């Protein structure tokens, strides 16, 4: 394959595009993204090829693991690696790259290894994982400033690393908590935007809705949730956190958080809806479907009395994180493929939830939206059984780490999502998907390992896909093996790359700060 080939894969005779990767990885160059690197003492200049859009000035901030052992003691799981913060600065046509490890705080009972994401709360920036500890950081110097315990402000045991933000800067998130009678529940929380009196918005944060847990002592693992203009969508998956195991085992046996997860093989997957304003749980609707793992919501919106929910799913209840041990990811290519054959299969799916449900409509498909084959059938026991429309599917070819034009399309009917293509769990391409037509576009280059593509809109743009995608790519054999890739989001063609003479380990999530 030629360098930097991008192409449009149109739906052929099949109804769903297979998105098969055209690239094999016999040289196993992907191992490099799972290896420890040193932090940098100062930002290093990048060599630019191509033309950067003149309006693109700001910082790409990303989080991921960067230290995979301490002395002779290796970490075993991808998500155990110690957090490294990365920054590409774009200014006056010049690009620099900088990275710094986290400073840790001692004497805590759950992890504060904030390797998952970074986002603003009011005027401050926080690096986060999924526990109650978030870490205030300086987005310029990448200094760790302070550790914040969310339990001081909110009744939650932790919150996801994927909050939603309204136009005015209000943040919503979800976390599990102990509800009535010490039963587990899920709390939706709200953090107001920056305050006129400069006080910390966290001081005014509050719980706005409580959703029940399918199991009294075992909340489901959650990684993100959906938000439309008027509703929150929470998907309760069959991957459970055994809190008793966590509480009793952690300090005594040195268990890790991976030991606290278990699968429920009979519950399938439950969808919950809550209204946003006034916030309240819609308890009368029991939306059910077959088992899948869910990490990332793509988008959700309301249309003609229905809630449309687009998701990156993995079929079955077997936990996908069980396949992300470093030993597996660092195997030879044939072994990587063999291991991934046993893992749940990825699929991009659309679910449609009817809002207006009548008893007499039992047994019929309640979804009357003209453009989807997703169904919802009311059963005699009052449950509504959902079947999805498949938007994208390919054997062991995942579309993950999805992004949209968030400022324009959050909670609205939309056309485009951009994601990272995982080939047997190895990130090897960037994919654009039209969720209405199922057309796909792919950027792929031999021996290149990209990360989540962040969409940055062109200032003043009206078209949904008028903008660029930013992704950190690693090309292990190259003279300058780490680069910031800038793609035209419409055509998925390369505009520019800014390359540095260092490997950049895998990053999970991040943000663009204009």
Round to whole Å and give the CA distance between 6 and 421: 13
| Strands of the 164-165 sheet, one edge to the other | 164-165, 171-178, 184-191, 206-212
Q: How far apart are CA 154 and CA 134, in angstroms?
A: 13
State the Cα–Cα distance between residues 512 and 63, nearest whole angstrom.
Answer: 12
Determine the Cα–Cα distance for residues 298 and 311; give it in Å rounded to an integer: 5
Select the span of 85-93, 126-134, 199-207, 362-370 touching ligand L2QA6LS6 (CB under 6 A): 126-134
Nearer to ligand L2QA6LS6 (CB atom), residue 129 or residue 405: 129
DSSP summary character for residue 447? T
> Is residue 285 part of an annotated ligand binding site?
no
Tell whether residue 111 is a contact of ligand L2QA6LS6 (CB under 6 A): yes
Residue 424 counted as an annotated binding residue: no
Residue nearest to ligand L2QA6LS6 (CB): 79
Query: Do 82 and 102 touch, CB atoms closer than 8 A?
Result: yes
Note whether 241 binds ligand L2QA6LS6 by CB under 6 A: yes
Q: Does 213 bind ligand L2QA6LS6 (CB under 6 A)?
A: no
* Residue among 104, 246, 406, 512 that touches ligand L2QA6LS6 (CB under 6 A): 246
Structure tokens at 216: 């009294």
d(CA 315, CA 320): 10
Nearest residue (CB) to ligand L2QA6LS6, 273 versus 473 = 473
Question: 180, 271, 261: which is closest to 228 by C-alpha?
Answer: 271
The answer to whether residue 110 forms part of the interface with ligand L2QA6LS6 (CB under 6 A) is: yes
Q: Which two tokens stand for residue 232?
A: 């929150």
Which value, in Å, is the radius of gyration of the alpha carbons in the chain? 22
Per the structure block, which two tokens stand in for 438?
């199922």
The size of the interface with ligand L2QA6LS6 (CB under 6 A), counted in residues, is 25
- Could you write out the three-class secondary structure of 289-318? ECCEEEEEEEEEEEECCEEEEEEEEEECCC
Of 118, 422, 474, 487, the residue at the interface with ligand L2QA6LS6 (CB under 6 A) is 422
Least distance in angstroms from the C-beta of 499 to ligand L2QA6LS6: 19
Give, as ranges, the residues between 299 and 328 that touch ligand L2QA6LS6 (CB under 6 A): 320, 324
CB of 216 to ligand L2QA6LS6, least distance (A): 15
Quote the least distance from Cβ 261 to ligand L2QA6LS6, whole Å. 7
For residue 403, count other CB atoms closer than 10 A to its CB: 23
Report the interface residues with ligand L2QA6LS6, using CB under 6 A.
79, 110-111, 115-116, 129-131, 157-158, 241, 246, 257, 260, 295, 320, 324, 400, 422, 425, 427, 451, 506, 508-509
Binding site residues for Fe cation, as ranges?
162, 223, 296, 509
Annotated binding site: 162, 223, 296, 509
């Amino acid at each position: 394959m030629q360098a930097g080939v991008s192409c449009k894969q149109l739906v052929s005779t099949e109804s769903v595009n297979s998105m098969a990767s055209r690239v094999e990885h016999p040289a196993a160059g992907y191992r490099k993204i799972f290896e420890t690197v040193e932090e940098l003492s100062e930002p290093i200049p990048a060599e630019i090829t191509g033309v950067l859009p003149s309006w693109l000035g700001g910082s790409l901030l990303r989080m991921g693991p960067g230290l995979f052992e301490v002395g002779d003691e290796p970490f075993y799981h991808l998500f155990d690696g110690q957090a490294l913060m990365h920054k590409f600065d774009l200014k006056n046509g010049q690009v620099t790259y900088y990275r710094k490890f986290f400073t840790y705080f001692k004497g805590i009972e759950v992890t504060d290894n904030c390797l998952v994401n970074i986002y603003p709360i009011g005027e401050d920036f926080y690096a986060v994982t999924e526990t109650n500890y978030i870490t205030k950081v300086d987005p310029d110097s990448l200094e760790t400033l302070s550790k914040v315990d969310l339990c001081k402000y909110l009744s939650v045991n932790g919150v996801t690393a994927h909050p939603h933000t309204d136009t005015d800067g209000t943040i919503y998130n979800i976390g599990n908590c102990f509800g009535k009678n010490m039963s587990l529940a899920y709390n939706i929380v709200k953090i107001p935007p920056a305050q006129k009196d400069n006080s910390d918005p966290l001081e005014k944060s509050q719980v706005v809705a409580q959703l029940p847990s399918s199991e009294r002592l075992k909340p489901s693992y959650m990684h993100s949730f959906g938000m439309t203009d008027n509703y929150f969508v929470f998907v309760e998956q069959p991957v459970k956190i055994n809190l008793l195991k966590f509480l009793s085992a952690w300090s005594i046996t040195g268990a890790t958080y991976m030991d606290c997860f278990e699968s429920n093989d009979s519950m399938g997957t439950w969808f919950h809806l809550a209204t946003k304003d006034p916030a309240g749980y819609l308890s009368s609707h029991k939306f059910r479907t077959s088992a899948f793992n869910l990490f990332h919501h793509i988008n959700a919106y309301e249309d003609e009395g229905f809630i449309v929910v687009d998701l990156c799913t993995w079929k079955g209840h077997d936990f996908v994180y069980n396949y992300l041990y470093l030993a597996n990811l660092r195997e030879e290519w044939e072994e990587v493929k063999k291991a991934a054959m046993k893992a749940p299969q990825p699929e991009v799916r659309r679910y449609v939830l009817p809002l207006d449900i009548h008893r007499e409509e039992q047994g019929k498909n309640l979804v009357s939206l003209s453009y989807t084959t997703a169904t919802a059938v009311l059963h005699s026991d009052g449950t509504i059984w959902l079947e999805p429309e498949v938007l994208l599917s390919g054997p062991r070819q995942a579309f993950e780490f999805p992004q949209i034009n968030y400022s324009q399309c959050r909670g609205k009917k939309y056309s485009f999502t951009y994601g990272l293509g995982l080939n047997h769990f190895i990130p090897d391409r960037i994919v654009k998907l039209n969720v209405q037509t199922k057309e796909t576009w792919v950027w792929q280059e031999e021996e290149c390992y990209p990360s989540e593509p962040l969409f940055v809109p062109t200032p003043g743009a009206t078209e949904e896909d008028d903008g660029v995608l930013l992704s950190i790519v690693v090309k292990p054999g190259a003279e300058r093996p780490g680069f910031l890739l800038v793609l035209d989001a419409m055509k998925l063609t390369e505009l520019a790359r800014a390359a540095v003479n260092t490997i950049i380990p895998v990053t999970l999530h991040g943000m663009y700060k204009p």
